[in-house]
Amino acid sequence: MTEFFTVVTPDDAKVALFEHVGPLGESERLPTQDTLDRVTAGEVRSPQALPAFPRSTMDGYAVQAADTFGASDALPAYLNVVGEVRMGEAAEVEVGKGEAAIVHTGGMMPSGADAVVIVENTQPIGDGDEIEVRRSVAVGQHVLQVGEDIETGDVIIPSGYRLRPQDVGGLLALGITEVEVARQPRVAIFATGDEVVPPHVSTGPGQIRDINSYTLAGQTVRAGGVPLLQGILPDDFDTLMARTREALAVADVLVVSAGSSVSVRDMTARVFESLGEPGVLVHGVAVKPGHPTILGVAAGKPLIGLPGNPVSAMIVYDLFGVPTLYRLQGATSVPRRGVVWAKLARNVASESGREDYVAARLVERDGELWAEPVFGKSNLIFTLVNADGVLKVPLNANGLEAGVLVEVRLF
Amino acid sequence: MTEFFTVVTPDDAKVALFEHVGPLGESERLPTQDTLDRVTAGEVRSPQALPAFPRSTMDGYAVQAADTFGASDALPAYLNVVGEVRMGEAAEVEVGKGEAAIVHTGGMMPSGADAVVIVENTQPIGDGDEIEVRRSVAVGQHVLQVGEDIETGDVIIPSGYRLRPQDVGGLLALGITEVEVARQPRVAIFATGDEVVPPHVSTGPGQIRDINSYTLAGQTVRAGGVPLLQGILPDDFDTLMARTREALAVADVLVVSAGSSVSVRDMTARVFESLGEPGVLVHGVAVKPGHPTILGVAAGKPLIGLPGNPVSAMIVYDLFGVPTLYRLQGATSVPRRGVVWAKLARNVASESGREDYVAARLVERDGELWAEPVFGKSNLIFTLVNADGVLKVPLNANGLEAGVLVEVRLF
């Protein structure tokens, strides 16, 4: 009944796993507008300069700056209005010395002009054929030059980058209507345990409902993966072996949330060993909760054995599963969204040599963010339901004192 | 060409809008596992206690605590092993005085027993019919009592709550397989401007591609709305009037990103006035960028007029559009995910009486998060592409000094 394993730090565990796990290296070409939250499969360079034509950044008059030098309320400059540049059209008017043309924000600069006087600093005279200019402008003022934002050939989006709404917008601004993105990893998720029944079933004595399949599916979706729920398996080696082998033929990742008892976790390890080389890489991680985590690889596919406790399962999957999904997609980093720093609202005990994660609620006080630990005896799922995330007690801290800045992983 | 409007603070603008905008009040019943990121349309109470039966939290032996009092390495207690409680089954064995039963983590406590001795503190004797117990346990130790997590009738999820993976798990743990959630608001999004062309079109002189339709669609999806892209309209009052009226018949929200020039924005305001009562509520907000924002309501439906500049449009939509979508879903708060606090990496200038948002990159240094402003002359979309979000310079700050804590809204 005793479990034997060598415990490694969470960082070392991830290194051990990632030594054998690289990007899937498969991609698909999608319409840019359908690529939100997908990861680029190559860098994207700009096919053009932006702006593509010199633009006014204000409503006003395109002029030759030299004509305005020294202009003031007391001594305005007088310019002839020779036309107007309409939005969306080429500037056909030309601005010579002593001349001005009406321009709108975002409109094209007419040739000859090198600056814009904003409308507030002008005054029409008579029927509007002439204006007074009451402030001088410098050459280039209120004008965007060609390529000032983007030059042709600039890398605008790197490879391995998860696309946000503004990135989709930036690509479309350059006329890039298709993007090569990484294929989404398929994740086979198994719940195991003789005591586990599906959520729609009335539980008998000693039985609990499957939660992990659904929480892990949600985390998988958020990390860009496709969950393939495999249901609940009994604690039987042959069944587990056959079903996981089958699932691994179509999936890119295998996730098994084992029952809570030691013998059952041990069975998961034996299954991982039998699925292929190199088999189990890590059995036991210096993290609480999550100590009995199993990480392995078979035929290049990551195998993740999670504790059965739903809080532990979510925390460990966030620590190892989520980064694995990003790695399979070739992402260079896990999106920052999801980690905040806050001040610890009260002391938290921990043991040195172990990373602790404590469910925490975030509260704003005096313009600062505070993390209040949520303690729950049983660490059941409602600890996380009542929390905004989990705060991290670092490996070599002997507990944390109230007031220190802590990292909170939002859930 | 001059724009006249009364400028209000962002908070006042939101209050003015929300006075006329309430929850849609429509809901649908969905399988719980399909409710990720949806907002509950009523509080959810637990139909049962959790745990539903007393459970062991460790691998070990269920005992009567009194039998272990005073037990130590030197003077162990001796107990007869009368059976084993199998996972997923009712505990049929009974534990009397001087007796113990094998239990697994999560297994049901047998009747008669009131505590669990962990396996590490025991030693089997002979063929395993007897054990030595080397530590005493208190009544209730390593045991979860019925209802310790949740009592029958407890509110487990409030109304107006956006469901996360753990919330979905918590509901399923209680056998709640269907949930009533708010209908997703439909958002009609228009881009306007004679100079705006679709992304797939080669731009001629003076033309730019539509970005806002797609960035706003992405923001809409993230806030739980359904974007209905209405394409690009020319700067023509009658067309805009006809098309927005048509869209508003099927949509719950109208969003118009106006061209950049004053005359065009003014047209948006006139359209909003003509769509119904009360019409325009706010025309001009003390925020940079985003000053010419227009907020209105027609027949209870929010109307949002955004600046044409893509950065301004995203920031203003995040400020007013996103909270509006949550409000329509009846959400009690905008999810915390998306706002972090960081130290400002360098001085930022601003004017008092105006809320400024400055694109910023987040950088971790010495275990702390720093916000580095990203300045871009033209404030084109690539300012936000190169940023993690925008930092807020509060209304009455005269700029901010390096080192102060700032709020960063992630994008």
Q: pTM value?
A: 0.91
Residue B194 contacts A, CB cutoff 8 Å: yes
Region A160-185 average pLDDT: 96
Give how far Cα B341 sits from Cα of A237, A362, B401, Å. Answer: 49, 12, 15
Residues 271-330 of A with CB under 8 A from B: 308, 310, 314
Do A322 and A380 share a structural domain? no
Do B158 and B59 share a structural domain? no
User: Which residues from chain B sit within 8 angstroms of residue A376, using beta carbons?
Assistant: 149
pLDDT, residue B377, reads 62
Residue A157 contacts B, CB cutoff 8 Å: yes
In angstroms, the separation between the Cα of residue A331 and the nearest Cα of chain B is 16
Cβ atoms of residues A279 and A1 within 8 Å: no
Region B350-360 average pLDDT: 91
In angstroms, the separation between the Cα of residue A297 and the nearest Cα of chain B is 26
Residue B1 lies in a domain: no
Residue A3 lies in a domain: no
| Residue that wins the pLDDT comparison between A308 and B38 | B38
In angstroms, the separation between the Cα of residue B140 and the nearest Cα of chain A is 12
Cα gap B334→B161, rounded to integer Å: 9
Please name the residue of chain A whose CA is at the shortest distance from the CA of residue B376. Answer: A149
The identity of residue B43, as a single letter, is E
In angstroms, the separation between the Cα of residue A239 and the nearest Cα of chain B is 17
pLDDT, residue A380, reads 79
Do A257 and A221 share a structural domain? yes
Do B195 and A377 make contact, defined as CB atoms within 8 angstroms?
Answer: no
* Number of domains chain A is built from: 4
ipTM for this model: 0.90
Residue of A385, A393, A396 to mutate, interface with B, max B Cβ within 10 Å: A385
Do A35 and A22 share a structural domain? no
Do B149 and A382 make contact, defined as CB atoms within 8 angstroms?
Answer: yes
Residue B337 contacts A, CB cutoff 8 Å: yes
Position A3 pLDDT exceeds 60: no
Residue B108 lies in a domain: yes
pLDDT, residue A379, reads 66
Do A204 and A115 share a structural domain? no
The identity of residue A294, as a single letter, is I
Do A313 and A397 share a structural domain? no
Do B208 and B110 share a structural domain? no
Do A59 and B173 make contact, defined as CB atoms within 8 angstroms?
Answer: no
Position B3 pLDDT exceeds 60: no
Q: How confident is the model at residue A1 (pLDDT cuts 50, 70, 90)?
A: very low
Domain stop point among A276, A306, A328:
A328
- Backbone φ and ψ of A305, nearest 5°: -105, 115
pLDDT, residue B85, reads 95
Region B120-125 average pLDDT: 95
Position A269 pLDDT exceeds 60: yes
Q: What is the CATH number of the domain that holds A400?
A: 2.40.340.10
Residue B99 contacts A, CB cutoff 8 Å: no
Region A183-210 average pLDDT: 94
Residue B194 lies in a domain: yes
Q: pLDDT digits over A97-109, tens only?
A: 999 999 998 899 9
Do A341 and B341 make contact, defined as CB atoms within 8 angstroms?
Answer: yes
Residue B376 contacts A, CB cutoff 8 Å: yes
Q: How confident is the model at residue A356 (pLDDT cuts 50, 70, 90)?
A: very high
Residue B4 lies in a domain: no
Position A5 pLDDT exceeds 80: no
| Residue that wins the pLDDT comparison between A329 and B407 | A329
Cα gap A360→A348, rounded to integer Å: 11
pLDDT, residue B379, reads 66
Please name the residue of chain B whose CA is at the shortest distance from the CA of residue A370. Answer: B341
Position B1 pLDDT exceeds 70: no
Cα gap B128→A409, rounded to integer Å: 45
Residue A149 contacts B, CB cutoff 8 Å: yes
Structural domain containing residue A166: 28-46+153-182
Residue B33 contacts A, CB cutoff 8 Å: yes
pLDDT, residue B2, reads 41
Q: What is the CATH number of the domain that holds B62?
A: 2.170.190.11
Please name the residue of chain A whose CA is at the shortest distance from the CA of residue B58. Answer: A261
Do B208 and A173 make contact, defined as CB atoms within 8 angstroms?
Answer: yes
Which tokens go with B278? 């009360």
Q: Under DSSP, is residue B313 helix (H, G, I), strand (E, B) or coil?
A: helix
Query: What is the share, in percent, of chain A residues with pLDDT greater than 70?
Result: 97
Q: Which residues of A247-263 are buried (b: 16+ CB within 10 A; e: fewer)?
A: bbeebbbbbbbbbbbbe
User: Which residues from chain A sit within 8 angstroms of residue B219, using beta carbons?
Assistant: 165
Residue A334 lies in a domain: no
Do A165 and A99 share a structural domain? no
Give how far Cα B207 sits from Cα of A50, A171, B14, B29, Å. Answer: 11, 16, 34, 46
Which residue shows structure tokens 């503190």?
B121
User: Which residues from chain A sit within 8 angstroms of residue B308, using beta carbons?
Assistant: 105-106
Do B148 and A377 make contact, defined as CB atoms within 8 angstroms?
Answer: yes
In angstroms, the separation between the Cα of residue A87 and the nearest Cα of chain B is 5
Please name the residue of chain A whose CA is at the shortest distance from the CA of residue B46. Answer: A382
Do B215 and B175 share a structural domain? no
Q: What is the CATH number of the domain that holds B213?
A: 3.40.980.10
Q: pLDDT digits over A125-136, tens only?
A: 988 899 999 999
Residue B215 contacts A, CB cutoff 8 Å: yes
Do A347 and A322 share a structural domain? no
Residue A190 lies in a domain: yes
Do B195 and B92 share a structural domain? no
Do A403 and A380 share a structural domain? yes
Query: What is the share, in percent, of chain B residues with pLDDT greater than 90?
Result: 79
Q: How confident is the model at residue A261 (pLDDT cuts 50, 70, 90)?
A: low
CB-CB: which of A90, A170, A367 is closest to B382?
A170
Contacts of B305 (CB under 8 A, 6+ apart): B256, B258, B265, B268, B269, B272, B293, B294, B295, B296
Domain stop point among A144, A165, A200:
A144
CB-CB: which of A107, A194, A411 is closest to B206?
A107
CB-CB: which of B59, B144, B384 is closest to A262?
B59
Q: What SS3 string covers chain A? A: CCCCCCCECHHHHHHHHHCCCCCCCCEEEEEHHHCCCCEECCCEECCCCECCCCEECCCEEEECHHHHCCCCCCCCEEEEEEEECCCCCCCCCECCCCEEEEECCCCECCECCCEEEEHHHEEEECCCCEEEECCCCCCCCCEECCCCCECCCCEEECCCCECCHHHHHHHHHCCCCEEEEECCCEEEEEEECCCEECCCCCCCCCCEECCHHHHHHHHHHHCCCEEEEEEEECCCHHHHHHHHHHHHHHCCEEEEECCCCHHHHHHHHHHHHHHCCEEEEEECECEECCCCCEEEEECCEEEEEECCCHHHHHHHHHHHHHHHHHHHCCCCCCCCCCEEEEEECCCECCCCCCEEEEEEEEEEECCEEEEEECCCCCCCHHHHHCCCEEEEECCCCCCECCCCEEEEEEC
Residue A4 lies in a domain: no
